Chains A and B, each alone.
Chain A
Amino acid sequence: MPPSIHPVDLIGALRHKRLTPAIVFLTSRRACDDAMQAFQRSHTALAPERQQAITSVLDQLIVQYPSIGEHPLLPTVTRVGVAAHHAGHLPSWKIAIEELMRQGCLDAVFATTTLAAGVDFPARTVVLTQSSVRKTRDFTEFTISEVQQLAGRAGRRGKDLVGFAVVTPSPYIDLTVITKGLTGHPEPIDSQFVIAYPMVLNLLKAHPLEQIQAILARSFAQFQLNRRAETLEGKLDAVHVQMEPYGPRVCTDWISQWQVFEQARKQKAHRIQVRHREPPELAARLHFLTPGRVVGLPKGRGLVLRQYRSRGQRSPMVTILRPGGAVAECQASTVTQVFDRSFEVAEAPVYPWCTPSSLEELIRQMSELPVRIPTLPILTEDGEKDIAESQIAQTLNDEFPCPTCPSRPACQKDHAQALRLRQEVHRHTKTIQALRTGLWHRFQARAEVLQQFGYLTPTCHLTDEGEWARLIRIDHSLLITELIRAEAFSGIEPQILAGVMATIAHDDDRPGAFPRISPGLGSLLGQVRQLADSLAPHEDPPLLRADVAALTERWVGDPALTWIGLCRATTMAEGDIYRLLARTLEYLSQVHTLRATHPGLADTASQAIKVLRRGVLEELP
């Protein structure tokens, strides 16, 4: 979104107040380009000596980076002293703009916020027009750190006595996000540790399995998890203290004992209530629709929170907890299945009919239910009902000592509190265990996949395949190594290999158009896609865009093709094409490291690299 003020007026106002040079942050490349177009059409022009200064800086840079000289915006930038800087540009162009800013030749740069660290040059003023940034697909509000990273570019040490952050509104700005960002303290950072296949292979190459857990324990991830675990352990100690009065009584595990007794009692009560009213199947079922029971409903599953009969309503009702946490009332007859699974519920007399912590725990437990749960076989009782009921009443007395136990009043009084505390202990203990061992389990899960595919032996040593596969340390490593093992690349031409690597490497879904693709590459892509889909349970498939494969194939297949010719063949921005090819180079050079085990493939990769790295791709290391 462009700001509401016209870009030419914006820079005019800043110049007027001596607030230039400025960096104007906009969210989209499009907005930056539109701003440049507005300047192109405008009649503003710098004094001749300032234009001269720009020209001389650029002339020097062009010697090193010839592509700068061919940039269509060169005359505009020189004339108006304003430029755009975003990922759609070639690195060389961005270097030129940065150098011009460093030397104080420009009045303003329109830049995108997507990569704050990438805008590595300061200015007197930073203009903010947005309070959110596009991350992958969604807009996310700026964090305090992000606002400070952006505003931090204002005020050049040694060149400015003061720096300015200027906010100007656009349709989607939230002023409080920005003021909070400017005035607040940056957020703490958290570990983002993920365990990828190359990490597992490379760790196991260097260390025996017994040492791995200790190595993972050295990560920032585990450091932070340990801190959380320690906090919880403190809480757990406190709960244990609270539980002291609820130790063993007449029965050691009186809490469970009372729980079961209560449940049985309630079931009995229901039996008496439902007499003669419901069809036999439903009547039989009702005994099992007790709090905590997992049931099947016409749409998915639910968990019974209570069974009741509302006044004036003849049919029995149940309150159901849905997997997401929604609580619904429905007729008991809508229950389609009664599963052989029931959870502890700390019941409460009011909505939602259980304690908040219990509700939370139930929601968590429901989310962890397996796909298949056995259903309860339920016998219909028919005419023998009355006999059955008296039997139950009898059992209640026979099996449970509670009704006559001397501890009964104490148990009755303490049960709710004791049960709540016990569930809390349970929950904390489980969480602490997960915090302490989670990383290790994730590592083991990855290792198991690698064993399954034959990269690791059952004792977690690298197999011959694992020995070379560990050298592929990029995203989608499993797909690449599996393609190599399937001999998908044997005997192919360099441009086809480059095309496949490009499509695996490219993770940007900005649309681009390039329809023509060679039949050879096309059919290979089909094979890649199929394999990627079959690996999907173990590794996220790449986008596998055919257009970027075709574009790369073209560049490598035709060494006479110029950069401009390549750019004309697609609607992708120059900067995106550059990044595509640069990433392809990186992937190809990973393939090249396999020369000891796959000399033919490594050789093809090296040929592709040689052709690929020409023109603008040669300008930078």
Chain B
Amino acid sequence: MTTEELEALLAAQPMSLLQRLAQGRVHRHVRLGKRHLIDALLRHASVNRAGLESDLQALMQRDASAGHRRTSGPPARHRGRPPQAERHPAKSSESEPAEPATDLSALLEGIGVPPPQPFFPDPWQEEALSRLTTTDVIVSVPTGSGKTYVAIEAARRAIEADRTVIYTSPLKALSNTKFTEFTRIFGADRVGILTGDRRDNPQAPLLIMTTEILRNLLYDAAGGEIDVRLDTLGLVIMDESQYLADPERGVVWEETIVFCPTQARLLLLSASIGNPEEVAAWLTSIRPTACHLVRHHRRSVPLRAGYLHPNGKLVPLFRSVGIPHSHGGSLHPEAKRLFAQYEDETLRPRSTSRRVS
């Protein structure tokens, strides 16, 4: 083999192979880019050409046969390397539990559309609604559980009792979506929207606005100027209440809650947060009634997790079909292997993989 031929052959190999070839030959080989790595290998070849060439042939053969064995999954974009488990047989069996890891077919089993079912409110939805008749309520449940149903039902009951309802969202865009949705449910004459520069149907019993707008209304009311029907206000629904912790705008949620008229009930709807009981205790300490907390962690549609390798191969992310409750050692061995391979190939040692551009 001439040096040019050797160089061309090296250039045609994937990084992972070059890296293995460089082990013991090139100092700090994991830090080098492909071009530099090849140069370094060629420099080394001037010392022991034969050894390098034979190792290269051996590695190429091993990869070729490994590639044949792995035929599942869509066509590969990247050339693979032999599974890591083969190289470190002892390592992978060490820390993992004895239970066998799940496989892709189990992960994907049961995908589909459920048969249509009559609507029955969940117990937690019922609980929130019934408690709301006497106290403030904070709901902290996973995304997608059905908080909107609680908002709508609560609003309906308050409107029927001739009370005004204010519904706040953190974003103007969300206000618009809810305006459309609530108008469809309650009818255009019953729903109004207030923004910084516009008021549509401000005398309607259900008013939608951002939290800032409500805070400003409460400022005005406290200063003696009332222009919306705050006197008949029966219910304030604050959606996405986890915004309480927003660095810039969280204070507006606090002010709104602190200044919220005592005769109105508060309904705080929040995604899962870590300390809803603390928020509830706060409300209890400043509001006329004890705040009732409704919380649960169970997702209404079970969640599973997968790992999709850049070559298109999908494997389970965890050893179990569902999401485990603690994360130590629960990664699926195949996902672990593929991800390690990905990191190797992109030449980013684990310690620096967090760095961002």
Which residues of A are interface residues toward B (Cβ below 8 A)?
1, 3-6, 9-10, 12-13, 16-19, 91, 94-95, 98, 115, 117-118, 120, 122, 124, 127, 131-132, 139, 141, 145, 148-149, 151-169, 171-177, 179-180, 182-194, 196, 198-199, 202, 205-207, 215, 218-221, 223-224, 227, 470, 473, 582, 585-586, 588-590, 609, 613, 620-621
Q: How far is the CB of A513 from chain B (nearest CB, A)?
A: 23
Q: Quick one: closest A residue to B173, CB to CB?
A: A91
Instruction: State in angstroms the CA–CA spacing of A157 and B113 once bound together.
Output: 10
Contact at B170–A117, with CB atoms within 8 Å?
yes
Complex interface bits, B239-276 against A, C-beta within 8 A gives 1, otherwise 0: 01011111110110011011000000000000111110
Q: How far is the CB of A480 from chain B (nearest CB, A)?
A: 14
Interface flags, B188-206, vs A, CB<8A=1, else 0: 0000010111101000000
Of B18-26, B60-68, B152-160, B309-317, the one touching chain A:
B309-317
Cβ–Cβ contact A148 & B354, under 8 A: no
On whether the beta carbons of B111 and A18 are closer than 8 Å, the reply is yes
Query: Once the chains bind, are B240 and A163 in contact (CB under 8 Å)?
Result: no
Chain B interface bracket (under 10, 10 to 19, 20 to 34, 35 or more): 35 or more
> Does B299 have its Cβ within 8 Å of any Cβ on chain A?
yes
How many whole Å from B312's CB to the nearest CB in chain A? 5
> Contacts of A4 on B, CB cut-off 8 Å?
310, 342, 346
> B242–A183 contact, CB under 8 A?
no
Cα A139 to Cα B77 in complex, Å, equals: 29
Q: Which of chain A's residues have a CB closer than 8 A to the CB of B318?
A: 179, 183
Specify which of A122, A164, A589 lies most central, judged by the most chain B CB atoms within 10 Å of its CB. Answer: A164
Q: Which of A141, A165, A183, A215 contacts B327 (CB 8 A)?
A: A183
Q: Apart from A115-B171, A155-B299, A613-B197, list 13 A-B contacts with CB within 8 A.
A: A5-B308, A6-B77, A12-B312, A13-B74, A13-B314, A153-B143, A157-B146, A171-B346, A176-B327, A183-B330, A223-B278, A586-B195, A589-B196
Q: B144 and A589: CB pair below 8 A?
A: no
Check B303 against A151 for contact (C-beta < 8 Å): yes
Cβ–Cβ contact B348 & A194, under 8 A: no
Evaluate contact between A166 and B308: CB separation under 8 angstroms.
yes
Contact (Cβ within 8 A) B171 A117: yes
Chain B nearest CB, measured from A112 CB (Å): 14
Query: Min CB distance, A88 to chain B, in Å?
Result: 14
Q: Which residue of A lies closest to B180 (CB)?
A: A95
Q: Of A91, A139, A585, which contacts B196 at CB under 8 A? A: A585
Shortest distance between the CB of A194 and any CB in chain B (Å): 5
Given A139-B356, A586-B196, is A117 in contact with B305 using a C-beta cutoff of 8 Å? no
User: B304, A164: Cβ atoms under 8 Å?
Assistant: yes
CA distance A139 to B342 in the complex (A): 22
Q: With contacts defined as CB atoms under 8 Å apart, how many contacts are there between chain A and chain B in the complex?
A: 280
A276 vs B299: C-alpha distance in the bound complex, in angstroms?
Answer: 81
Residues of B with C-beta under 8 A to A141: 354
Contact present for B353 and A173 (CB under 8 Å)? yes
B196 touches A180 (CB 8 A): no
> Once the chains bind, are B113 and A160 in contact (CB under 8 Å)?
yes
Interface pair B274/A13, CB less than 8 Å apart: no
A207 to B212, CA, bound (A): 21
Alpha-carbon gap, A160 to B144, bound state (A)? 12
Residues of B within 8 A of A (CB): 74, 77, 108, 110-114, 116-117, 142-146, 170-177, 179, 193, 195-198, 200, 212, 215-216, 219, 222-224, 240, 242-248, 250-251, 254-255, 257-258, 271-275, 278-279, 281-282, 285-286, 299-312, 314, 317-318, 323-327, 330-331, 339, 342-343, 346, 348, 353-357
B279 adjacent to A220 (CB under 8 Å): yes
Contact B113 A167 (CB under 8 A): no
In the complex, which residues of chain A have a beta carbon less than 8 angstroms from the beta carbon of B117?
158
In the complex, what residue of chain B is closest to A121 when comparing beta carbons? B177
A184 touches B302 (CB 8 A): no
> Which chain B residues lie closer than 8 Å to A620 at the CB level?
172, 176
Q: In the complex, A585→B196 CA distance in Å? A: 8
B238: shortest Cβ distance to chain A, in Å?
A: 13
Cα–Cα distance between A172 and B352 once the two chains are bound (Å): 9
Contact, CB under 8 Å: B254 / A171:
no
Q: Which of B108, B222, B356 contacts A205 (CB 8 A)?
A: B222
Q: Who on chain A is nearest to B197 by CB?
A: A589
On whether the beta carbons of A118 and B171 are closer than 8 Å, the reply is yes
Which B residues are in CB contact (< 8 Å) with A17? 108, 314
How far is B243's CA from A614's CA once the two chains are assembled, in angstroms? Answer: 31
Q: What are 29 A-B pairs at a CB distance below 8 A? A: A1-B357, A4-B346, A5-B77, A5-B312, A145-B271, A148-B142, A152-B142, A152-B143, A157-B300, A160-B112, A161-B111, A161-B112, A162-B301, A162-B303, A165-B305, A165-B323, A166-B314, A167-B317, A171-B346, A171-B348, A173-B353, A186-B272, A192-B247, A192-B250, A193-B254, A215-B258, A224-B278, A585-B196, A585-B197
Shortest beta-carbon distance, A392 to chain B, in Å?
A: 57
Are A166 and B114 in contact, CB atoms less than 8 angstroms apart? no
With A172-B355, A192-B246 known as contacts, the answer to whether A179 contacts B308 (CB < 8 A) is no
Q: Which of B77, B145, B224, B245 counts the most chain A CB atoms within 10 A?
A: B245
Cα distance A95–B35 when bound, in Å? 48
Closest to A177 in B: B354
Q: When A169-B342, A184-B327 are in contact, do A159 and B113 touch as well, CB less than 8 Å?
A: yes
Interchain CA distance A196-B245 in the complex, whole Å = 17
Chain A residues within 8 Å of B245, by CB: 189-192
Q: Are B172 and A582 in contact (CB under 8 A)?
A: yes
A192 to B247, CA, bound (A): 5
| Distance in Å: Cβ of B79 to nearest Cβ of chain A | 14
**CB of A104 to closest CB in B, whole Å:** 10
- The smallest C-beta distance from B168 to any residue of chain A, in angstroms, reads 13
In contact, A157 and B144 (Cβ under 8 angstroms): yes
A9 near B77 (CB under 8 angstroms)?
Answer: yes
Whether the Cβ atoms of B354 and A174 lie closer than 8 Å is yes
- The reply to whether A118 and B303 form a contact with Cβ atoms under 8 Å apart is no
Chain A residue with Cβ nearest B142: A152
Point out the residue from A94, A174, A185, A188 that lies within 8 Å of B353, measured CB to CB: A174
Q: Select one of B110, B246, B309, B348 contacting A162, CB under 8 A.
A: B110
Q: Are A117 and B172 in contact (CB under 8 A)?
A: no
For the complex, what is the distance from the CA of A149 to the CA of B285, rounded to whole Å? 29
